[in-house]
Structures are given as structure tokens and as C-alpha cells.
Amino acid sequence: MKIQKIISMLVVFVLLLSTLVFATPDIELSAESAILIEATTGQVLYEKNSEEKMYPASITKILTAIIALEECNLTDIVTVSEIAVSSLPQGSSTGELKSGETFTVEQLLYALLVNSGNDAANVLAEHIAGSNESFATMMNTKATEIGATTSNFVNPHGLHDEKHYVTAKDMVLIAKYAMSNEVFRRIVSTQTYTMPNTEIYTDEERVYTNTNLMLFDKAMPGNSVNYYYEYITGIKTGQTSQAGKTLVASAKKDNMELICVILGVRNSSETANRYLDAKKLFTYGFNNYFLTQITTPIKNIEISNAKKGQELEVQIKDNGYLLSTTSVDASSLNYRMVQKQGLMAPINQGDEIGTIIFDINDQVYEYTLVAKNNVEVKDSIFETIMNFFKWIFKIIFYIILIFIAIVVLFRIFVILTRKKRRKRKRSNGPRRRAKQD
């Protein structure tokens, strides 16, 4: 009980200290709600009203895209229906898709994510689930699986509906999940994409320009300010009158990637808008945090009831990345391990076996330890005796085999020797008789 109390107090201390270490800074944003995380660890670096329900607009399409990527092949052929294009309100953002045209899923994903085509969202939803309503059920199921449990989706494109809302905290989890897909990463970082013409669409080429201005190293038409950010890797913009301007953005510098969500930017100007908000958050994150993979060798653990010669090798769960406010030498960190109480064999690879705690510059970092190998239970006295007799029987068996082999070889030797003698007698016999005559 005393050990449990000590461990509990230590955990509380770590949590309190980590709260101080990653305290929310004072950053002036135009967004009503925002969040910034480090993508590998998922650590929240900044948040502002991150659990407030907000309208997402077209950043909804991030979830639509990841479902399409997981449910379809990129080469699947999809036909555009009349309702998919005619059900959209006038002035809605589209990829200019025409009823009856056929596209691959990959082409529709470019129309969805680069050009923010609401028609592409409808086409994909119908193809996958039969209707927007059925697809919305899939969206909510997937969001829950990812951990986004306080949001609700009713359509695949994000056009306004009072029942269609997200939180920044949920949206950043969805974005983090989506960015683990390499095809998604490739598409959301694309500046322009040309949709091939079809027999139905014969006008000028449909050239889609990414709506995320942070991707372009020069000011785009209609903007006198260049919002380019050199480390940007994606992801998606959104805008409706009810949602204001929204943005999910990601940026990678050296080995660290950050993801931010910006919601509810209204009356934005060249000096106060979603892109500048994102830049402020990225600048703060890259200037104040370091990501290091822990490479410190961790000693093996002896398990009292383990089979003879077996030790438990351990490793940090999820490779052990250290997010700190100072640069550290990952190969020479001091640590202490706290093993699970009553840790006994059998232990399977991947089982949680305790925690490892690092003290770095008066900051405490705690990670889960898992088994790197299997550890079997040592034999009982009865099994030991039986194994001893099995060993004796094996020795006797091999001795008998060796004895039989020697006897057989000796018998063969005797037979061969007798044959040689008989041959000599036959060859010598006639000569003796010739001399006697």
C-alpha cells in the first residue's frame, strides 16, 4: 500500500509539473478557438477555447477524405450523379464536375482537398455509402474511433447546418490521424492540379489551385500579402458566413511536425487572419520545443519465476519521443524504472510492464514501458524431474545408437576381412599345387 501511495503521489507530481512546463502561452490570435499540438507525441502546446463547439466549414473534408482513402482504391471508377451536383446551393465551391462524368477516386480527392469541391464530397459520399445521410453516420463512427467524441457531422462537405459542429481539440485529432496517410499528405501539399477533360466536359482545362495560401511563395491574385510559410506541409481551409474562416495547418521543421486548428476567424484582414494565427502558433512551437527520440540503453529486468537464462528486455512504448523545452542528449539520460507490482512470467511481447522516468533540467518525463520479448515460466519441480529423466533417457538412447553403430561397423569390418582372406586363399591355392607337381 505504501508503494502504491508513493507511485500515485509521483504521478500527480509529474502531471502538475508537466502542466507548468507546457503552460498555455499568451499569444494574441484573431481566432475564437484554436489549438496547437506536436504531431508525434500528440502533446498540446497551446489551446484557446479548444473544447468549444464551432462550425468547421470545409475542413470537414479532411474526415471525408480519410474515409474515402480507407474504403476505396485510388483507381476505383466513380460516376457523378445528377443529385450530387444539383443539390448544392448556388455559389458553392465546386470542382465543376458534370453529371455523367467518370473519375477515379484519386482524381476526386484532388478536387475535394485542393479545390475544396463540395460536388466531389457529394460524389464520394454517394459512392461509398449511397447517400450523404449514410455517409454522415460513417463520419461520426470514424471520428469516435479516432477519439473525436464531442463533434457531430451531418454532411461530407461542411456546408452550414446547426447540427454540424466540431471542437478544435477533436479536429486536431482528426488531422493528426489523416496526416499518417501518405496519399493524404501528398494531396494536401499540392499547389495546383489539372483535372483531365472528359467527353462531357470539353471546356478549358479545370486547373485547381490550393485554397491554402501558406503553400505559395508569392502573393496570390486578390491578396496583396504573401502568407507563405516555408515549413508548411498542408492541410485545409474552410469558410462560411456562420463559421467564419477556418484552417487546419501543418508544418515540419527538422524532425518535428506541428499541427494547428484555427476556428471562428471573423472580419479577417491582411494583418489579422487565420494564416497569421497559424504562423504565430508555428513560430511559438518551433522556437520553444525540441523533439528527441530517446536512445538511452535500458537495462534488462530479471523475472524471479522466469525460465532459466531468460531475461525481460524492455522498450519505451511508441519508440519514446521526448518533447522538451531544451535540447537534450538522448543517449545519456539518467532514468529510473517503476515496475508493475507482482510482475511475473509469463510475459508476452508488447505487455505493459511499468514506467520509466527521466529527470531533465528539473523537469520530469514519464513513459510507459513494454516488453520487447516473451518470457516463459520456469519449470516446476515435477517438470524439472521429468526433464532430468528425459535427458537421461536421451543419453541412454544415444549411447545405444552409438553401440549399435559400432557393432554394425565391426560386423561389416569382420565380413570384409573374411572375404579378403578367402580371395587370398583362392589366389594362392593353385600356385602351391603347381610347385608340388
Residue 157 near residue 118 (C-beta atoms within 8 A): yes
Active-site entry in 33, 93, 116, 151: 116
Q: What is the DSSP string of 334-402?
A: -EEEEEPTT--S-B-TT-EEEEEEEEETTEEEEEEEEESS-BPBPPPHHHHHHHHHHHHHHHHHHHHHH
Residue 117 near residue 95 (C-beta atoms within 8 A): yes
Q: Quick check: is 50 catalytic?
A: no
Phi, psi of 192 (to 5 degrees): -135, 150
C-alpha to C-alpha distance for 205 and 216, rounded to whole angstroms: 21
Q: Quick check: is 116 catalytic?
A: yes
Q: Which helix (H) or strand (E) holds 258?
A: strand 256-265
Active-site entry in 33, 48, 61, 236: 61
111 closest CA partner among 183, 184, 206, 197: 206
Residue 340, all three cell numbers? 508493475
C-alpha distances out from residue 205 to 81, 92, 208, Å: 21, 20, 9
Q: Grid cell 467527353 — which residue?
A: 199
C-alpha to C-alpha distance for 1 and 7, rounded to whole angstroms: 10
Which residues of 178-243 form beta strands (DSSP E)?
A: 192-195, 206-209, 232-240
C-alpha distances out from residue 79 to 66, 85, 108, 124, Å: 20, 12, 10, 10
Q: What is the DSSP string of 417-430?
A: HHHHHHHHHHHHHH
The C-alpha angle 356, 358, 360, rounded to 5 degrees, equals 170
Q: Is the peptide bond before 27 cis (omega within 30 degrees of 0)?
A: no
Helix (H, G, I), strand (E, B) or coil at 297: coil
- Other Cβ atoms less than 10 A from the Cβ of 34: the count is 27
Q: Grid cell 508476452 — which residue?
A: 348
Q: Quick check: is 268 catalytic?
A: no
Active-site entry in 58, 93, 151, 250: 58
- 188-227 burial code (b ≥16 CB/10 A, e <16): bbbeebebeeeeebeeeebebbbbbbbbbeeeeeeeeeeb
| Catalytic machinery residues | 58, 61, 116
